[in-house]
Each structure stands twice: as C-alpha cells, then as structure tokens.
C-alpha cells in the first residue's frame, strides 16, 4: 500500500514525523508493506513552486492508496493558493468526515462523564462556499456592505451521508442521532432529515432520534454518553465534532478521516498552531489516531484485510496506553516532547499484543 504524506504547515512537519514513526512500527509488526512517500503542499509548496498543490503532488495522490494530510495554515495564504484540505475533499469526493470522540483512561473529561461517540459529517457541500459550486464561490459580495453566503444541500449527498452513518452504527452500539435546524432551515435540513428517516426505516434494529443543533451543543456538555453515531450537515458537524473532542480532554486527541467510496484522507482535527511550531511540544496524537483510522478504512475498502484492521486497533490501543501512563506532551499532563511521545506510542505498537 502506498500512502502520500503531506506534512503541512506550522506544527505539521513535527507531528508528521511522529506519526510516520508509528506507521513504520505498525508496518513492521503486522507486515503491512507500507510505502510512505513524503511530498510538499501548502506554504512550503507555495514558496517553492508558486502553488499550494503542485501538479506532481496531485498526480501522486491520485495514484496512491491513501493520503495523510498535516494541518494547513490556509488563513495565512488565503487568496494565494487553494486550500489543500478542501481541494482533496472535493476532487476525490470525500463525502464523509468521520470524527470519533471518547474519554481516555487517565485523562479526566471536563464533563466528568465517560462517552464514546462518532460524528459523521457531510463533507462536500453545505455552507462551505469553497466547495459547493461547480465554478466560482458561493459567498457573494452584493454591495460593499452586503454579503450573501449560499448553502447547497442535495438529496444525493444527504442520502449517502445518512447511509454511511447507519453502516457505522451497525458496527457500534446501534444508535443514530440526526442533528439539524429544520425549524429554521426547513427545506435544506428537511431534505436531510428525509434521507435519515428513510435509512432509519430500512434499519429497524438501529435506534434513531433527531436533535436540533443548538440543543445538541447543550446535550453534549451535559450527558455525552447518550450518543453513539451523530450524523449532520457540514458546518454543524465541523463545530460539534470539535466540541465533542475537546470534551474528551483535548482537541489533540481528535482523530479524523475524510472518506469516499474509493479513497480516504487522514487529517488531524486541529489546526497548524504556528505559535508553537518548531518548539517540539506539539501533541502528535490527533494525526497518529487519524493515520490509524486510515489503516482501518484500507482494511475495509481496499482489501487490506485482517493485518490492517489489527494495526489500526493497535495504534488506538497504544495511544490509550500512552495517555494512561502519562507518556504524553504537556497539554495532556505529561512531560514528553513531540518526538518522544511519537516514540512512546511507536514502542507500544511494536510490542503490545
């Protein structure tokens, strides 16, 4: 299996180095035969080649089995080049953003409650102006004092994200919660709920309920343990998944993949944190967990088989073990630097049964 690695900006190269060490340990232990090819996108590519996504990078990604994308400081070069994250999500039709959030042994959640949920977020349309038009941008400057931002919702995208949520719930605790704002966005979120209700009717063994988005934010804080799989539209999912991950103890523990029918991109749930870049203190767990999720997707969709599934489980177990043992960076209460935490997790992947 060939994976393209794009380290990104800010802390990206540091957490990518740590992640690659873990992947190398997993590949050696489980005989995965991973081919890891590191290339440049984002600020480094813009400075060197005048574009954030060089043609050679795009071609290499198209020929690969998966992509690992480090955090990008897209705000810093907005208007100078494409947002790599948005570009790959749209170009490869990566319609499902999957973000687990759970509590970890040895790390107290701000809520004090244990939970284990997954946010399944539609990833290709919604209020995101850079990806919901065939050409141009869906944010319009009508006059110097008036901006209109358009949201695109399509039945096809609603159908497939609802189906993805129910497939995932069938492998978990068999409960789906659809989050919406149909009391205000009656047509768009109404269409989304229609798709979710059809899937619910087709899966009578899976419990189903609906929650308005503002109430959902309160429920996550008060009793997150009631939720299993949460499915929602793009912007709501972006916000709620960050909230859920932070409630687990740290946004740095948020794994994330962007999955389509034929391709998957692993991506840390957080940003590039330029204020701590180069200091060796960044938490690499989010990208490590994301890489593990990519291996799990490869096991299911690309014929990776049992070895890839076992490697994915081993990576999550190793991160949990490192957190419980305090083998972490300072944001999680430990004393290790970025590279040392990566080595600690890699060591656990290499030897744990």
Q: Locate 193 and state its tokens.
A: 């709920």
- CA 19 – CA 290 distance, rounded (Å): 9
| Full set of structural domains in the chain with CATH | 1-97+254-353 (3.40.718.10), 108-247 (3.40.718.10)
Which residues are bridge partners to 318 per DSSP?
Answer: none
pLDDT for 352 beyond 70: no
- pLDDT for 58 equals 96
Contact (Cβ atoms closer than 8 angstroms) between residue 231 and residue 120: yes
CA separation, residue 128 to residues 29, 90, 179 (Å): 41, 11, 18
Residue from 100, 85, 98 nearest 12 by CA: 85
List helix spans (H) across the chain.
12-30, 43-49, 55-63, 84-91, 155-170, 186-202, 213-222, 234-247, 285-301, 305-325, 338-351
- Residue whose entry in the numeric block shows the structure tokens 């290339």: 39
pLDDT tens per residue across span 177-233: 999 999 999 999 999 999 999 999 999 999 999 999 999 999 999 999 999 999 999
The backbone torsions φ and ψ at residue 16, rounded to the nearest 5 degrees and listed phi first, read: -70, -45
Q: H helices then E strands: how many in the chain?
A: 11, 12
Residues 6 or more apart from 25 whose CB is under 8 A from it? 346, 347, 349, 350
pLDDT tens per residue across span 47-74: 999 999 999 999 999 999 999 999 998 7
Residue from 298, 325, 324 nearest 310 by CA: 298
List helix spans (H) across 108-206.
155-170, 186-202
Please give the model's pTM, rounded to 2 decimal places: 0.93
pLDDT classification of 353: cutoffs 50, 70, 90? very low
Sheet holding 35-38, edge to edge: 35-38, 2-6, 66-69, 264-267, 257-259, 96-102, 116-122, 229-232, 175-180, 207-212
Helix, strand, coil shares of the chain as percentages rounded to 5? 45, 20, 35
pLDDT tens per residue across span 283-327: 999 999 999 999 999 998 877 689 999 999 999 999 999 999 999
Q: List the end-to-end C-alpha distance of the chain, in Å, as a whole number.
A: 23
Residues 6 or more apart from 157 whose CB is under 8 A from it? 95, 122, 124, 125
The share of the chain scoring above pLDDT 90, in percent, equals 82
Looking only at the bridges linking them, the beta strands covering 175-180 and 229-232 are parallel
Which residues are catalytically annotated?
128, 181, 214, 238, 242
CA separation, residue 90 to residues 95, 174, 241, 275, 330 (Å): 8, 30, 20, 29, 36
């Amino acid at each position: 299996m060939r994976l393209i690695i794009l380290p990104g900006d800010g802390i990206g190269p540091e957490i990518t180095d740590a992640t690659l060490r873990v992947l190398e340990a997993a590949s050696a232990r489980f005989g995965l035969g991973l081919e890891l090819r590191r290339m440049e996108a984002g600020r480094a590519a813009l400075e060197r080649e005048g574009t954030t996504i060089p043609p050679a990078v795009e071609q290499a990604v198209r020929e690969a089995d998966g992509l690992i994308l480090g955090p990008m400081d897209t705000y810093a070069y907005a208007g100078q080049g494409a947002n790599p994250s948005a570009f790959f999500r749209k170009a490869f039709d990566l319609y499902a953003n999957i973000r687990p959030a759970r509590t970890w042994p040895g790390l107290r959640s701000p809520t004090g409650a244990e939970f284990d949920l997954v946010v399944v977020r539609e990833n290709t349309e919604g209020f995101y102006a850079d990806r919901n038009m065939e050409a141009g941008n869906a944010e319009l400057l009508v006059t110097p004092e008036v901006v209109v931002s358009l949201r695109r919702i399509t039945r096809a995208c609603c159908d497939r994200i609802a189906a993805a949520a129910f497939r995932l719930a069938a492998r978990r605790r068999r409960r789906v919660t659809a989050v919406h704002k149909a009391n205000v966005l009656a047509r768009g979120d109404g269409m989304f709920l229609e798709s979710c209700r059809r899937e619910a009717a087709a899966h009578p063994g899976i419990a189903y309920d609906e929650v308005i988005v503002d109430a959902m934010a309160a429920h996550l804080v008060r009793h997150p343990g009631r939720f299993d799989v949460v499915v929602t539209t793009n912007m709501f999912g972006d916000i709620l998944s960050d909230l859920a991950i932070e409630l687990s103890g740290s946004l740095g523990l948020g794994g994330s993949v962007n999955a389509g029918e034929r391709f998957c991109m692993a991506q840390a749930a957080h940003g590039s944190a330029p204020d701590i870049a180069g200091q060796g203190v960044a938490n690499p767990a989010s990208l490590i967990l994301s890489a593990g999720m990519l291996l799990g997707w490869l096991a299911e969709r690309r014929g990776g088989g049992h070895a890839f599934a076992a490697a994915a489980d081993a990576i999550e177990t190793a991160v949990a073990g490192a957190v419980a043992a305090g083998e972490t960076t300072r944001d999680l209460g430990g004393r290790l630097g970025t590279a040392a935490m990566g080595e600690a997790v890699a060591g656990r992947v290499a030897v744990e049964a």
